[in-house]
Structure 1
Amino acid sequence: MKRYLATSAALALASGSAMASGLDRTGQPIGIIFEEGTYAEFSFATTSVDLSGNDRTSLNPLGSASGDVGDRFNMFGAGYKRDINDQLSFAVIFDQPWGVDVLYPAGGSALLGGTKAQADANAVTALLRYKFNERFSAHGGIRYQEIDGEINLNGLAYSVIPGGTYNVKVDKDGAFGWVAGVAYEIPEIALRAALTYSSEIEHDFDLNESFAGSPGLNTTTSTKTKTPQSVNLDFQTGIAADTLLFGGIRWAEHSVTDLVPGRLGRDLIDLDDSFTYTLGIGRKFNENWSGSLALIYADVDGDDLVSPLAPTHGYEAIRLGVQYKQDKMTISAGIRYTQLGDSVASPGGNPVTNFQDNDAVSFGMKIGYNF
């Protein structure tokens, strides 16, 4: 069977702002290392999130709607792969693996209105792959990532905070981690199974904390925060002529990600570990066109009590992709619909706002070129 790799159009693996899978947005893919010859790609994805809830507490017996708290976000990615010799190859990957964009509109939720969280991450991964033979290979390398962000706590749910409003700006910090994995292939039937471990990365952030109405508490502090270690198992295999079955399992230890500002003294991130499962089928229609369909399910540990800065708990998604190939150029596009899991925003463990029946839509494009 001619090797055929179904793609889903560079869509982000996460489809919502701080969804069930913690802050996870890309799933930290390394598939480019398996491309043939010299190859480069550029991708773009955008996600529109519909994320709203209603207050539920004796502090506000009449209740109030939160309004849409999930901001649209965009992501960019790029990669380059080249063979050094018949056994050794390398790749450089740029992605934006972590992020959050949540804003509770002022005048919406009486309990959380004005609360917001924004965080961005950029990462560069340098990989080497060594082929022991046509079946077995190993890959590994280093990952450098930078993260910054800002969190604002506001509303009656945070009335115990001096001044009633708290803001912390997280200055950008860069840190290193590592990646290691193995793969088994049978090229004749397009079979490949790849297991990849990504280490946790520890950041030492400088913080600027401020309390509205209590300027005497404003200060500059620092704290250490980790992004999760993770394990990805990706597989594909031909099941008929020009037809491919593919999927994957991703585990991420989001529970290690804490942010405890020194003056505030409480954790602003409360996330649970997660498993994300993907299963799909790809079909080559002719020499130019192919398509894929995948189902995705994220299972998250713990109950549905979540941080207001990450007000979802698990998700289900369907992803449809098409690909056009002409000579050395490949253009992919796709769309993904995600049903976000219901949750209860619970600052300090106190349930205050229900989030139900929310969803997100993502669209992505990727351009690849074989030299």
Structure 2
Amino acid sequence: MKRYLATSAVLALASGSAMASGLDRTGQPIGIIFEEGNYAEFSFATTSVDLSGDDRDLSPFVTPSTSGDVGERFNMFGAGYKRDLNEKLSFALIFDQPWGVDVNYPVDGSAWLGGTTAQADSNSITALLRYKFNERFSAHGGIRYQEIDGEINLAGAAYAAIPGGTYNVKVDKDGAFGWVAGVAYEIPEIALRAALTYSSEIEHEFDLTETFAGFPLASGSSTTKTKTPQSVNLDFQTGIAQDTLLFGGIRWAEHSVTNLVPGILDRDLIDLDDSVTYTLGIGRAFNENWSGSVALIYADADGDDLVSPLAPTHGYEAIRLGVQYKQDNMTVSAGVRYTQLGDAVASPGGNPVTDFEDNDAVSFGLKVGFHF
């Protein structure tokens, strides 16, 4: 059964994440550190988002309308390298794109929010060491470096109080360091592993360019500090029958620490709730080459359903299907995930203006791994 120990980690990453709580996209996985021997992998995932809402009728001066599809397709790339340094010590290098947002309200859509856009991208490199005290207990930890940049445009009747009626802020790329630490317990004979991993928050100091359309005297440059969330991941797997694996995980992320308050506008543009994400699935080896898995995922976000227009969802439910083919030293994994996005109310400044209901997303992922 040991040859199927990596099933849960491989198929989970292959399918990617789809509009996770807050800005979370990958869940910051570290499963590669548990691969047997020396190993390298490359992955790609794409997510198509169907995200639309209906304006509330709140003013005789604003004619409500539907928002149109505000969710933009996004892609993610990943890579990893793991090497055994000796019988007890191993090293891994992981590249992922943990945080992001792609939202675009069509100008001819929502009267309250039409023209509002948000885009943020991130790249992260994590260097890990794992030390095996014995066959059952190990500890892992290391450093993480990440870079983030983005741009936000506020428009529509909801932002009429802003000087000029339209506002844009460009967030220059900034890099900063954090750290990772964790422990694991294993019983190889029954394919059991439980791994607890803590990721620290990372603070960025961004240079901003703020532009108020129609009111150029207010435009200028500023700086602000922003944190990405600390998080805790508990991942587990265990054999429950011949060639059958039960796996799952719990992830807590403190999204509420993430804010963006430009110096001139002096208003928080991000309003996110902390979240807990639960995963439970089963993997099955069909023969020496083929295996598959199915998993259910539920994300529970704190607070009410009033959210930032830049992230107009509140929790989600998902199902993920994966398949894996192994030949010699190469493993190819593919996955598809359907996500039912939680209903939410876009509420700039806490004022509810647009209801988002019955939205979803579909993700596809592919990963190729090599043992050497």
Give the aligned partner of residue 79 of structure 2.
78
Aligned to 1:308: 309
> Could you say which residue in structure 1 is the equivalent of 2:42?
42
Output one character per residue of 1:74-120: Cα deviation in whole Å (capped at 9) or x when no partner: 00000000000000000000000000000000110011000000000
Equivalent-residue separation in structure 2 for 1:222 and 1:2 (angstroms): 51
Alignment of 1:34-113 (within 5 A): 34-59=34-59, 62-113=63-114
Q: CA deviation at 1:63?
A: 1.9
For 2:174 and 2:262, the matched residues in 1 are separated by 15
| CA distance in 2: counterparts of 1:156 and 1:30, whole angstroms | 44
- TM-score, normalized by length of structure 1? 0.98
Aligned partner of 1:8 among 8, 11, 28? 11
Partner of 1:10: helix, strand, or coil? helix
Deviation at 1:12, TM superposition (A): 5.2
**Which amino acid in the other structure matches residue 45 of structure 1?**
A
SS at match of 1:33: helix
Q: Which amino acid aligns with 1:358?
A: N
> Alpha-carbon deviations, 1:166-215, whole Å to 9, x = none?
00000000000000000000000000000000000000000000000000
**Aligned-partner Cα distance in 2 for 1:222–1:59:** 35
**3-state SS of 1:169 partner:** strand
Q: Matched residues, percent identical?
A: 82
Give distance in 2, aligned partners of 1:12 and 1:179: 24
Aligned pairs, how many? 368
Runs of 4 or more off by more than 6 Å in structure 1? none
Q: Deviations over 1:43-68 (max 9, x none)?
A: 00000000000100322664200000
When the two structures are superposed, what TM-score results if normalisation uses the length of structure 2?
Answer: 0.98
Give me the whole-angstrom Cα distance separating, in 2, the residues matched to 1:155 and 1:133: 61
Aligned to 1:215: 216
Structure 1 residue 13 displacement after superposition: 4.7
Aligned letter for 2:174?
D
1:357 paired residue number: 358
Q: Give the 3-state SS of the residue equivalent to 1:8 in structure 2.
A: helix
Residues in 2 aligned to 1:3 and 1:294: alpha-carbon distance in whole angstroms: 20
Check whether the contact 1:9–1:366 (CA below 8 A) recurs between aligned residues: no
User: In structure 2, what is the equivalent of residue 128 of structure 1?
Assistant: 129
Q: How does 1:1-371 map to 2 (within 5 A)?
A: 1-4=1-4, 5-6=6-7, 7-8=10-11, 10-11=13-14, 13-16=16-19, 19=20, 21-59=21-59, 62-371=63-372
Distance across 2 between alignment mates of 1:62 and 1:120: 34
Q: Shift of the alpha carbon at 1:3?
A: 3.9
Task: Output one character per residue of 1:245-285: Cα deviation in whole Å (capped at 9) or x when no partner.
Answer: 00000000000001000000000000000000000000000
Say if 2:15 and 2:320, in contact at 8 Å, map to a contact too: no
Unmatched tracts of structure 1, length 5 or more: none
Conserved? CA contact 1:281–1:292, under 8 Å: yes
Check whether the contact 1:181–1:197 (CA below 8 A) recurs between aligned residues: yes
Structure 2 portions without partners, runs of 5+:
none
Instruction: Provide the C-alpha distance between the structure 2 equivalents of 1:324 and 1:182, rounded to a whole number of angstroms.
Output: 30
Question: What is the CA RMSD across the aligned residues, in angstroms?
Answer: 1.0
